[in-house]
């Protein structure tokens, strides 16, 4: 799910990636809105907000929104920088961005109760989450070959509309490929919305500890991906050894 890239990557890998990471992003987005009154997984609305603040002369709010845009960009750059340095096809290329995202979520969950609605605290907490989501969007896009986007839905709805038209107008031989694309878009949209619903309900009960939940999901995804491959290799080795074993008088001789 996280390690396979290029030709090694298949449709199922992207589906698993979409399910877990879109759900995580949806939780962060909803919890961030409840906690800090800021959408923390995309920058489209912040660009319009920056224009509004500049037009009305609210310079204090302008620098904060501008900082959020910069932090999302910096997160995407940093994630890409780490992957580029390690190597896109290396085993641990995506480990550092994921670990940093987990740490940010844990810190926001631990110190979120200190939020007092001041400009500085809003910039600090919301900016941290935007940086984390910038990292996540960058490494997920890189892993999936720019097929999966986990932190926003504008592009997904656009692509879904295009694919739906293509479905009714394309030759029959291309229908299967188009249907797979549509299913992937729907999975991304559904799990982002599901994550948002869960994140919103969780915040009503858990408050800032809600940010622990996406951190736990990321930890599980990272270790599951690593140990699943190791387990698969061990099982394949055992199967190969059994196939090579020839029973003679109750004794196995390995050829």
Give CA–CA dist 218/103, Å, rounded: 11
Structure tokens at 107: 């810190």
DSSP code per residue over 4-36: --GGG--HHHHHHHHHHHHHHHHHHHHHHHHHH
Euclidean distance between CA atoms 55 and 58, whole angstroms: 8
For residue 201, give the H/E element and its range.
helix 175-206
The pLDDT confidence band at residue 90, using thresholds 50, 70 and 90, is low
> For the whole model, what pTM was predicted?
0.84
Other residues' Cβ atoms within 10 Å of the Cβ of residue 149: 22
- 238 vs 25, higher pLDDT: 25
The answer to whether residues 196 and 210 touch, using CB atoms and an 8 Å cutoff, is no
The span from the CA of 40 to the CA of 30, in Å, is: 8
Cα distance between residue 48 and residue 42, in whole Å: 12
In the Cβ-directed half-sphere of 215, how many Cα atoms lie within 13 Å?
Answer: 20
CA distance between the termini of the chain: 35
Q: Taking the CB of residue 169, how many other CB atoms lie within 10 A of it?
A: 8
Mean pLDDT, range 161-184, rounded to an integer: 88
Whether the per-residue pLDDT at 247 is higher than 60: the answer is: no
Residue 13: alpha-carbon gap to chain centroid: 13
CA distance 149 to 2: 14
Per the listing, tokens 């074993």 go with 245
pLDDT tens digit string along 37-89?
999 988 888 999 999 999 999 888 899 999 999 999 999 999 988 888 776 65
The C-alpha atoms of residue 113 and residue 207 are separated, in whole angstroms, by 8
Buried b (16+ CB within 10 A) or exposed e, 216-246: ebbeebbeebeeeeeeeeeeeeeeeeeeeee
Do 34 and 200 form a contact (C-beta atoms < 8 A)?
yes
Rounded Cα gap, residues 117 and 122, in angstroms? 6
Average pLDDT on 153-171 reads 89
For the chain, list the strands marked E by DSSP: 245-248, 251-254
User: d(Cα 220, Cα 212) in Å, to the nearest integer?
Assistant: 12
Percentage of the chain beyond pLDDT 70 is 82
Question: How far is the C-alpha of 91 from the C-alpha of 126, rounded, in Å?
Answer: 31
Cα separation, 235 vs 255, in Å, equals: 19
Q: Is the pLDDT of residue 223 over 90?
A: no
User: Beta-carbon neighbour count of residue 2 at 10 Å?
Assistant: 23
């Amino acid at each position: 799910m996280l390690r396979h890239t290029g030709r090694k990557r298949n449709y199922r890998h992207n589906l698993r990636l979409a399910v877990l990471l879109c759900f995580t992003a949806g939780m962060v987005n909803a919890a961030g809105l409840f906690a800090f009154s800021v959408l923390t997984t995309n920058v489209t609305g912040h660009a319009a907000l920056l224009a509004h603040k500049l037009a009305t002369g609210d310079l204090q709010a302008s620098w904060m929104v501008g900082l959020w845009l910069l932090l999302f960009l910096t997160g995407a750059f940093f994630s890409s920088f780490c992957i580029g340095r390690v190597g896109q096809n290396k085993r641990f290329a995506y480990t550092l961005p994921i670990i940093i995202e987990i740490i940010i979520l844990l810190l926001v969950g631990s110190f979120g109760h200190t939020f007092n609605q001041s400009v500085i605290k809003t910039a600090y907490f919301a900016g941290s989450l935007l940086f984390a989501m910038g990292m996540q969007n960058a490494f997920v896009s890189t892993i999936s070959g720019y097929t999966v986007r986990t932190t926003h839905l504008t592009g997904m709805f656009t692509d879904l509309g295009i694919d739906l038209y293509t479905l009714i107008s394309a030759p029959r031989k291309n229908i299967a490929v188009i249907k797979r694309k549509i299913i992937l878009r729907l999975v991304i949209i559904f799990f982002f919305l599901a994550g948002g619903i869960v994140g919103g309900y969780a915040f009503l009960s858990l408050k800032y500890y809600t940010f622990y939940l996406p951190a736990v999901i990321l930890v599980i995804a990272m270790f599951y991906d690593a140990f699943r491959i190791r387990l698969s290799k061990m099982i394949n080795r055992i199967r190969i050894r059994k196939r090579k074993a020839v029973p003679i008088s109750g004794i196995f001789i390995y050829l």
